Amino acid sequence: MKAFFSLLICGISLSAVAQTTVQTQIQSQRPVQDDFAPVFKKINAEVQANSKAYDNLKFATENIGHRLTGSENGAKAEAYAYQLLKSYGYDVKYLPFEVESWSRLTNETKIGDSESQLKKVNSVTLAHSPVKASVMAELVDLGNGLEADYIKDGGKVKGKIALVYLGILPGSPDKTPYLHRSEKAAIAIQHGASGIILINGVKGGVLLTGTASVTGKLISIPALCIGLEDGMALKERLKDKKQYASLNMTNFSGPIKARNVIATLKGTTLPEEKIVVGGHLDSWDLATGAIDNGIGSFAIIDMARTFKKLNLKTARTLEFVLFMGEEQGLLGSKAYVAVEQMRSTLDRVRFMLNYDMANNPKGFSSSRKEMKDLFTAWGGQINQLDTGFKNIFSSGAGLHSDHQPFLLEGIPTGGGAGEELPNNSGPFYHSDGDVFALVDDQELRNTVRFSAMLAYALANTPIIPVSKQSDEVLKKFLQDNDLELPLKLAGEWRW
């Protein structure tokens, strides 16, 4: 992760020997293997002894509750994060932006063998469904809800309600593409469905929420989620007999203001270059969002605390950013990138580290494989402190979190690797089961200490061996990572 550079880059001049090393590095295009071990040791000791992440997150879940963007709770969360960072000695600012707020009001789903014999089924509305919808129609089983499923259907779904599995159905062929729920909703709309019901893949009737919109704006059809058992039983009934559904819902949508929270640690020798350490503070409203994304956002706040407590200096500027609106379409991170573009300062962002449901990393990841040598060199130094850190490295690119707006501008991104959520909390993602009892104190400390080390190393290494990709290089990179289709569905493919 981070390596500690044998001469601290805190404003002093490099020695002639170090200058020679750097010049050799520039010429060879191989990263300098910095020795950051002494600082890593300090970070390790501080976080293990004094981390406040667990206690701060506990307070937030007990005293604020959910952190839905645009809600009163969301505003309280923004203020809480601001005050914490201010108390640690940071120059903190809000980055306000306006979003189209969405929240659920009423929802009733009924399903049965005929339009006159319908029974209520437990369901939850997916975000950005219409403000008001009342649909009665026949159900059509569209399997995984991919384009190929609709082609096979031959247009029969038009005017009907699509029944789609969330994720990939067990028994699906190898290499079946995985699409986000919003992308599956977009395909259903393109093929004329009047509604979409997604089957959650988690046992025990767990209901999942989340956005059904690829744009963060209202969609034209009602979208909802039902439990695994209800959904799979419905699929079986459809094999023998037509099934009908009645979808009735009301929701709220309207413009509101939200605020990203940004704490800045000014760089010493390369202050115009920035490392963004970000993650989303907002959550859905069914629970307190302890896992999604309390463990990520409160880890970031504690990383920032650690830097100030140890009075760490960095060559590059570090920005610790708590984004709002991620759950409703990456709205806060898109606003951040838009402002940087307007100011013509986006090129100053050399790297973006994203922490979304981050927990207990065993290594580091990056969108750029060229980072392997540096990341594993730093990781080797961390392994000397804690053998539980396995120094895994993974590379590749995905979507649907706050790194995406940076990635789509060609900026290198990264974070943890080899992570596992605590206490089997994965099944409670976006559900009413996402509560503080699932959080593991030591695993949260591991996220803070290892991630703080990575941020320190990135901010201090003389050479970051990757830079912003050109438009044509970025296009091929996205295609190589199978992102052209989902970006086209989202209307974000600009080529």
Q: What is the pLDDT of residue 65?
A: 98
- Which residues have CB under 8 Å from 242's CB, separation 6+? 113, 138, 139
**Mean pLDDT (whole number) for 174-186:** 96
DSSP state of 200: P
> What are the φ/ψ torsions at residue 304 (nearest 5 degrees)?
-60, -45
Distance from C-alpha of 67 to C-alpha of 294, rounded to nearest angstrom:
10
Distance from C-alpha of 70 to C-alpha of 103, rounded to nearest angstrom:
9
**Mean pLDDT (whole number) for 75-88:** 98
Distance from C-alpha of 146 to C-alpha of 126, rounded to nearest angstrom:
18
Please give the CATH number for the structural domain made up of 38-99+256-489.
3.40.630.10
Q: What is the pLDDT of residue 282?
A: 98
* 223-226/161-165 β-pairing: unpaired
List the beta bridge partners of residue 415: 365
* 132-141/161-165 β-pairing: parallel
- Which residues have CB under 8 Å from 327's CB, separation 6+? 68, 69, 127, 210, 211, 280, 282, 283, 284
Q: What is the pLDDT of residue 99?
A: 78
Q: What is the pLDDT of residue 101?
A: 81
pLDDT at 5 > cutoff 60: no
- Residue carrying the six token digits 């973006």: 352
- Residue carrying the six token digits 């979003």: 99
Task: Provide DSSP, 406-472.
Answer: HHTTT--EEEEES---GGG-GGGTTSTT--GGG--HHHHHHHHHHHHHHHHHHHH-S--S--PPPHH
> What are the φ/ψ torsions at residue 112 (nearest 5 degrees)?
-170, 180
Tell me which fold the domain 102-253 belongs to: Glucose Oxidase; domain 1 (3.50.30)
**Mean pLDDT (whole number) for 170-189:** 96
CB of 84 closer than 8 Å to CB of 229: no
* 123-125/161-165 β-pairing: unpaired
**Mean pLDDT (whole number) for 394-405:** 97
Q: What is the pLDDT of residue 4?
A: 28
Q: What is the pLDDT of residue 21?
A: 35
List the beta bridge partners of residue 120: 110
Band of residue 130 on the pLDDT scale cut at 50, 70, 90: very high
Q: Which amino acid is at 27?
A: Q
Distance of CA 489 to the CA centre of its chain: 19
Mean pLDDT over the full length of the chain: 93
The pLDDT tens digits of the residues spanning 234-262 come to 999 999 999 999 999 999 999 989 999 99
Handedness of CA 319, 323, 329, 335 (dihedral sign): negative
- Which residues have CB under 8 Å from 284's CB, separation 6+? 66, 68, 127, 209, 210, 292, 327, 430, 434
pLDDT at 364 > cutoff 90: yes
**Mean pLDDT (whole number) for 109-128:** 95
The pLDDT tens digits of the residues spanning 271-319 come to 999 999 999 999 999 999 999 999 999 999 999 999 999 999 999 999 9
**Mean pLDDT (whole number) for 120-127:** 97
pLDDT at 29 > cutoff 50: no
DSSP state of 174: T
> What are the φ/ψ torsions at residue 16 (nearest 5 degrees)?
-60, -40
Q: Percent of the chain, pLDDT > 70?
A: 93
Q: Which residues of 157-187 are buried (b: 16+ CB within 10 A; e: fewer)?
A: beebbbbbbbbbbeeeeeeeeebbbbbbbbb
Q: What is the pLDDT of residue 33?
A: 56
pLDDT at 470 > cutoff 90: yes
Band of residue 191 on the pLDDT scale cut at 50, 70, 90: very high
DSSP state of 346: G
- What separation in angstroms does the CA of 159 have from each of 135, 195, 378? 10, 8, 56
Measure the CA angle with vertex 145, ends 395 and 142; round to 5°: 155
Which residue intervals of the chain bear CATH 3.50.30.30?
102-253
Which residue intervals of the chain bear CATH 3.40.630.10?
38-99+256-489
Distance from C-alpha of 445 to C-alpha of 295, rounded to nearest angstrom:
10
**Mean pLDDT (whole number) for 374-379:** 98
CA dihedral 440, 441, 444, 446 (to 10 degrees): -110
- Which residues have CB under 8 Å from 191's CB, separation 6+? 150, 153, 155, 157, 158, 162
